[in-house]
Structure formats: C-alpha cells, structure tokens
Amino acid sequence: MRCLIIDDEPLALEVLEDFISKISFIELVASCSSGFEATTILQEHQIDLIFTDIEMPDFSGIDLIKSLDPKPMFAFTTAYSHYAVEGFNLNVIDYLVKPIPFHRFLKAATRAQNLLNLKVEKETPSVHREIKPEFIFVKSEYENLKISLADIKYVESLKDYIKIYTHKEKPILTLSSLKSFEEKIGNSNFIRVHKSFIVSIKHIYSVQRNRIIIDGKWIPIGLNYKDDFIKKIDS
C-alpha cells in the first residue's frame, strides 16, 4: 500500500515516518510539509492512503481532500478533536488525535489495507477468479448421480468411459473422457498424472518414484506429467 504523509511540523513527520517503517505492508512514497507540496506528489505517483494534518498554513488537510477527485483514502492526524464530524462527512477512514500511539496508527493502517484489498477483489474481473464447484452430476446407467468433489479419490480412463473412485466400494462408470472431466470439475485440488489418470491431491497417501499410492492402489506418473505434478505438490 503506497502512502503519503503531510504535516507542517517536522517532529510530527518524524513520528509518522518511524511508525511506517515498522509496518511491512506500507510503502512511504513521500513526506510533505504542506498540502500544495502534496498535490505535486499526487500528480506524479499513485497513492493509496494519505495521513494528513488538518490545520496547516494556506492549504488545510480538509481543503486537500475537497480538491481531489478521485480521492485516495485519507486519515486525519491532528491535535484537535473538533474536526471529527467533518472528517466523518468526508469519509476519512480514521481520525487520529496527537500524540498518536503506535497501536492506533497501526489500527488505521490495517483498516486501510483491508479496504484496499476489498476494492481490488471487487474490481477483479470474475473471469480471472478460479471457479471451484463443490459437486458434479454424472450420468451412470439410467440415472444422474450427484458426486461431491471432496469424495473423489481418483479417476481412471477406460477408452470411451471413465471410472470415478470415491469412498464407496464400487466405482462409478460414466461415458466421458478425462479431458471433459477436467473441464467439468475446474478444481485445483485435482491433477492429471498420466494419460489414463487424474488424482485428488488430498487423497494421496504417498509418492514413490514414478507412482502414487491412494487406498493401496498404485497409480503411475506419466513422464509427460511428472514435472507439473512435482511442482504442484511442492507448492
């Protein structure tokens, strides 16, 4: 999170700089002694959060907020409590009264980081988010069976059919290909390890050289799939 601090008192700036140096998720872009100086920084850099004093000569913190559109997040740092209502009306994220203890500054910074994370998540296109269904329906004999993905241990290809192995004694046989099954589940908990096998990572008991053991069954790891499988389990 990129941050800017503004205060016409050098000692106040030193305190805030020291606080920021102790917080890993904040990057201090600049320290300014006036609102006018801050406007120049804002033209040159992307700023997520501004900690600003209110009463400063010529250009107050309130004047700065009102002059910006769009606005980054703001937190007031002031010796006066009577601006609290106006701060609320301007949607500042926090109102810190001097002398500011570190725990209050950290609380304000954490609140800002959480708000920024929510904004990024909201603006991320849904197509970029991984879809993880909890269950699938497959046609087996004369019915459509609902299968929880958490119950699937591994899947084996048999020409035009696949066998889905779950906690039940008898596997489920359905007309499908492994590729179609992969597309259907869209789930990172499964990985193709062989031209004939997909396995659930959470159900793997052990990996021995070129094979996987699940429920006492030896499943081969194909040469073309080995590198991706190793990367997956290492991560």
| pLDDT mean across residues, the chain | 88
* 3-state DSSP assignment of residue 120: helix
Q: Per the structure block, which two tokens stand in for 167?
A: 């906690």
Domain 2-127 has CATH 3.40.50.720: no
pLDDT digits (tens, 9 = 90+) for 111-169: 999 999 888 877 766 544 455 678 889 988 888 989 999 999 999 999 889 999 998 88
Looking at domain 135-234, its CATH architecture is Beta Barrel (2.40)
CA distances from 49 to 10, 66, 92, 104, 174 (A): 20, 15, 10, 16, 55
CA angle, 85 as apex, 84 and 88 as ends, to 5°? Answer: 90
Strand ranges across the sheet with 217-220: 206-208, 211-214, 217-220
Q: Which residue has the higher pLDDT, 85 or 168?
A: 168
All CATH 2.40.50.1020 domain ranges in the chain, comma separated:
135-234
Tell me, what's the pLDDT at 110? 93
Question: Phi and psi for 35 in degrees, rounded to 5?
Answer: -65, -35
All CATH 3.40.50.2300 domain ranges in the chain, comma separated:
2-127
Beta strands at 161-165 and 154-158: parallel, antiparallel or unpaired: antiparallel
